[in-house]
Copies of this chain bind each other. A is one copy, B any other.
């Protein structure tokens, strides 16, 4: 792989190399030298003979040895020509530092396109532009102005150099963990997030992937790659730019799409990405996931000395939907044997001063708790590490013993322990020992609770991993001839809206026949059709020119007698004619009035980041008021169809209310899956809107169906 060749390069050319110490072209070479890059450095600058003692070349193609990566520090406009030259040399990749591309507007976008085209023609992969650079920590290929990046197993992808600096600083001062790679993703002009993810999945040095994302160019490809990655390596993400102002800032920074919509949040979670909301939690979450086994059953024990901390931790874990089960009688008995009478042993466990003279008690409790098969992980909160400080130095040795025992306990039980300690600031040795065993320690209750929480998230995801998910659309494979004919007819008439009977036909072709209807073109035919239907009927005008049927007087409801039907037919025809004398009237759609039931909505759209997306929720008049809908990236699986139904806030409505029977969920799931299939079958479909869909105990009925096609290449203005 070309990108892999670049990121593991053993030879680097620096274009824009300089003898001026304040310039990036000087600093880049200096840092490679200082950090002892394992390969060869080639400064490139037509005006210099040597820089920092290294021979300088006029251009990249002059270099006599192979060059795998090029760091380009010159301004935007110069880049395409440099890339042409790099192409002659056959370099694998280039890091483009300069801004001034798509993030500045139309001119920048053009320049970016030209640059990418040149790169692709020459088989060069680009990192950036508008990036702080890239570091391969293991081989000391440091193409960023950051020194002393601690080496470790976390691969960092960031769209902000400042956030990278923040995380690297945090690792240096608070942790013994470090990084395998840092990539400043920049504008994603050529290489996209998912391609880095693939490299990190295959990289033996990398155990977890940590991402700071402001915008993402190809959400669907990312989902597919994340889905293949997260089973093996946790992916942690902070997505910023969710507010309007945040988007403004992110927009000015990267020029890509912003916003953590509900669609994005649900999609990321579905593929096992661990979402963190606070920047404070990013590094701790990565550190914990890289150091400890996941919680396999979502059940945590909390161990504390005194109240307060335990109460707060219990609140935090409950907020995160983590179970803090009451301990079994057997486990409670064992705890009682070693704890004073005042102790609480149900969970949270409060040793109530029982460790004051003997901090080994924590290790004993930890053993009892983690050996209980009911418990999947332990959160120790409060004062551990501080007993030697608070009471007597000799207790510090006991705490160290306890740390060794807890460390070994994690190894043997394969269950995690995360520790909150008020004394973390004092750096007691016992806490360093815990870290040696991979047990993570934080002085924030919120962060410690979040960290045991992400271990539970990751375990839950692995438990519920769904083998058949696939985000690659097999466009058109399931299309039917009759369906294509409907679209072709619309296209031939320069329409982007399918007529209602056409939309219904599309669904029916794929098995979603919900509701009876007939298209008629005379009053007599209408009467005959109505007679064949049960109960009162509804009639609607069908014309490509009349989209707002009610406004045009083209809708009549609750018609019972032949006379009513005849009069309705005539009125509809006359009013439609009056509304638009040029309208091409295809007939009148007649269908039975739907029985009263639960009004739902099903819709699809093309999301800018994720492509085809399906929506489900409470329909009818409540759509706008309740805004109670859920989203999924299509294609759907049966499981995701079930989950998206359960996701709506008012899901209880489906279980029946005011004496109504519950609605049949199987039929609903089938409708959602059919809609997903239809969208996949016909790439021309832009939007679908089924509203209301009325659900009953024994099935569903679609009252109104609308399908919009993508704007065609021709007749775009008709």
Q: Are A309 and B163 in contact (CB under 8 A)?
A: yes
The residues of B that contact A159 with a CB separation of less than 8 Å are: 307-308
Once the chains are docked, how many angstroms separate the CA of A306 from the CA of B240?
14
Q: Are A162 and B249 in contact (CB under 8 A)?
A: no
B-contacting residues, A143-175, CB 8 Å: 158-163, 165-166, 169, 173
Determine how close the nearest CB of chain B comes to the CB of A129; give it in whole angstroms: 14
Interface membership of A242, Cβ < 8 A: yes
Q: Closest residue of chain B to A172, judged by CB?
A: B425
The residues of B that contact A250 with a CB separation of less than 8 Å are: 307, 311
Once the chains are docked, how many angstroms separate the CA of A507 from the CA of B347?
49
Q: Are B350 and A252 in contact (CB under 8 A)?
A: yes
Q: Closest residue of chain B to A163, judged by CB?
A: B308
Once the chains are docked, how many angstroms separate the CA of A348 from the CA of B160?
15
Binding site for B on A (CB under 8 A): 99, 158-163, 165-166, 169, 173, 212, 214, 238, 240-246, 248-250, 252-254, 278-280, 305-312, 314-315, 317-319, 324, 342, 344, 346-348, 350, 382-383, 422, 425, 444-447, 621, 624-626, 650, 652-653, 657-658
Q: Are A253 and B311 in contact (CB under 8 A)?
A: yes
The one of B162, B243, B657 in contact with A625, judged by C-beta atoms closer than 8 angstroms, is B657
The one of B243, B312, B658 in contact with A240, judged by C-beta atoms closer than 8 angstroms, is B312
Once the chains are docked, how many angstroms separate the CA of A249 from the CA of B315?
10
Determine how close the nearest CB of chain B comes to the CB of A618; give it in whole angstroms: 9
Once the chains are docked, how many angstroms separate the CA of A21 from the CA of B212?
54
Q: Closest residue of chain B to A252, judged by CB?
A: B344
Q: Are A240 and B280 in contact (CB under 8 A)?
A: no
Once the chains are docked, how many angstroms separate the CA of A212 from the CA of B240?
31
The residues of B that contact A657 with a CB separation of less than 8 Å are: 621, 624-625
Q: Are A306 and B160 in contact (CB under 8 A)?
A: yes
The residues of B that contact A311 with a CB separation of less than 8 Å are: 160, 214, 240-241, 246, 249-250, 253
Q: Are A318 and B252 in contact (CB under 8 A)?
A: no
| Residue with the greatest number of chain B CB neighbours at <10 A, chosen from A278, A342, A425 | A278
The residues of B that contact A278 with a CB separation of less than 8 Å are: 446
Once the chains are docked, how many angstroms separate the CA of A248 from the CA of B425?
30
A-B contact sample (18 more), CB < 8 A, given A245-B315, A254-B307, A278-B446: A158-B308, A159-B307, A159-B308, A160-B307, A161-B308, A162-B382, A240-B311, A243-B314, A243-B317, A252-B344, A279-B444, A280-B280, A280-B446, A280-B447, A621-B658, A625-B652, A625-B657, A626-B626
Q: Are B162 and A280 in contact (CB under 8 A)?
A: no
Once the chains are docked, how many angstroms separate the CA of A248 from the CA of B162?
43
Q: Are A314 and B162 in contact (CB under 8 A)?
A: no
Q: Lowest 7 A-B CB distances belong to which pairs? A: A160-B308, A243-B318, A253-B307, A246-B315, A162-B308, A245-B314, A163-B308
Known A-B contacts A240-B312, A241-B311, A243-B319; A249 and B348 likewise in contact (beta carbons under 8 Å):
yes
Once the chains are docked, how many angstroms separate the CA of A240 from the CA of B626?
31
Once the chains are docked, how many angstroms separate the CA of A99 from the CA of B342?
9
Between A and B, 6 residue pairs with Cβ closer than 8 Å are A162-B383, A166-B422, A241-B311, A245-B314, A250-B307, A253-B307
Q: Are A214 and B162 in contact (CB under 8 A)?
A: no
Once the chains are docked, how many angstroms separate the CA of A306 from the CA of B184?
14
Determine how close the nearest CB of chain B comes to the CB of A417; give it in whole angstroms: 19
Determine how close the nearest CB of chain B comes to the CB of A344; give it in whole angstroms: 5
The one of B238, B319, B445 in contact with A280, judged by C-beta atoms closer than 8 angstroms, is B445
Q: Are B621 and A307 in contact (CB under 8 A)?
A: no
| Residue with the greatest number of chain B CB neighbours at <10 A, chosen from A248, A346, A447 | A248
The residues of B that contact A161 with a CB separation of less than 8 Å are: 306, 308
Q: Are A242 and B650 in contact (CB under 8 A)?
A: no
Q: Are A422 and B165 in contact (CB under 8 A)?
A: yes
The residues of B that contact A305 with a CB separation of less than 8 Å are: 162
Determine how close the nearest CB of chain B comes to the CB of A318; give it in whole angstroms: 3
Once the chains are docked, how many angstroms separate the CA of A342 from the CA of B308?
49
The residues of B that contact A253 with a CB separation of less than 8 Å are: 307-308, 311
Q: Are B625 and A252 in contact (CB under 8 A)?
A: no
Determine how close the nearest CB of chain B comes to the CB of A298; give it in whole angstroms: 14
Q: Closest residue of chain B to A660, judged by CB?
A: B621
| Residue with the greatest number of chain B CB neighbours at <10 A, chosen from A243, A347, A447, A653 | A243
Once the chains are docked, how many angstroms separate the CA of A481 from the CA of B710?
73
Known A-B contacts A160-B308, A652-B624; A246 and B446 likewise in contact (beta carbons under 8 Å):
no
The one of B169, B244, B306, B383 in contact with A318, judged by C-beta atoms closer than 8 angstroms, is B244
| Residue with the greatest number of chain B CB neighbours at <10 A, chosen from A214, A249, A657 | A249
Determine how close the nearest CB of chain B comes to the CB of A156; give it in whole angstroms: 13
The residues of B that contact A163 with a CB separation of less than 8 Å are: 308-309, 312
The residues of B that contact A444 with a CB separation of less than 8 Å are: 279-280
The residues of B that contact A346 with a CB separation of less than 8 Å are: 248
Q: Are B243 and A307 in contact (CB under 8 A)?
A: no
Once the chains are docked, how many angstroms separate the CA of A422 from the CA of B174?
13
Once the chains are docked, how many angstroms separate the CA of A346 from the CA of B245?
10
Q: Are B246 and A318 in contact (CB under 8 A)?
A: yes
The residues of B that contact A319 with a CB separation of less than 8 Å are: 243
Determine how close the nearest CB of chain B comes to the CB of A52; give it in whole angstroms: 19
Q: Closest residue of chain B to A654, judged by CB?
A: B625
| Residue with the greatest number of chain B CB neighbours at <10 A, chosen from A445, A624, A626 | A626
Once the chains are docked, how many angstroms separate the CA of A243 from the CA of B621?
35
The residues of B that contact A212 with a CB separation of less than 8 Å are: 308
| Residue with the greatest number of chain B CB neighbours at <10 A, chosen from A160, A173, A308, A445 | A308
Once the chains are docked, how many angstroms separate the CA of A315 from the CA of B163?
15
Q: Closest residue of chain B to A212, judged by CB?
A: B308
Once the chains are docked, how many angstroms separate the CA of A318 from the CA of B350?
39
The residues of B that contact A241 with a CB separation of less than 8 Å are: 311, 315
Q: Are A318 and B624 in contact (CB under 8 A)?
A: no
The residues of B that contact A252 with a CB separation of less than 8 Å are: 307, 344, 350
The residues of B that contact A245 with a CB separation of less than 8 Å are: 314-315, 317-318, 324, 347-348
Q: Closest residue of chain B to A244, judged by CB?
A: B318
The residues of B that contact A246 with a CB separation of less than 8 Å are: 311-312, 314-315, 318
The residues of B that contact A314 with a CB separation of less than 8 Å are: 243, 245-246, 248-249
The residues of B that contact A248 with a CB separation of less than 8 Å are: 314, 346, 348
The residues of B that contact A445 with a CB separation of less than 8 Å are: 279-280
The residues of B that contact A308 with a CB separation of less than 8 Å are: 158-163, 166, 212, 214, 240, 253
The one of B99, B350, B446 in contact with A249, judged by C-beta atoms closer than 8 angstroms, is B350
Determine how close the nearest CB of chain B comes to the CB of A158; give it in whole angstroms: 8
Q: Closest residue of chain B to A250, judged by CB?
A: B311
Q: Closest residue of chain B to A423, judged by CB?
A: B169
Q: Closest residue of chain B to A99, judged by CB?
A: B342
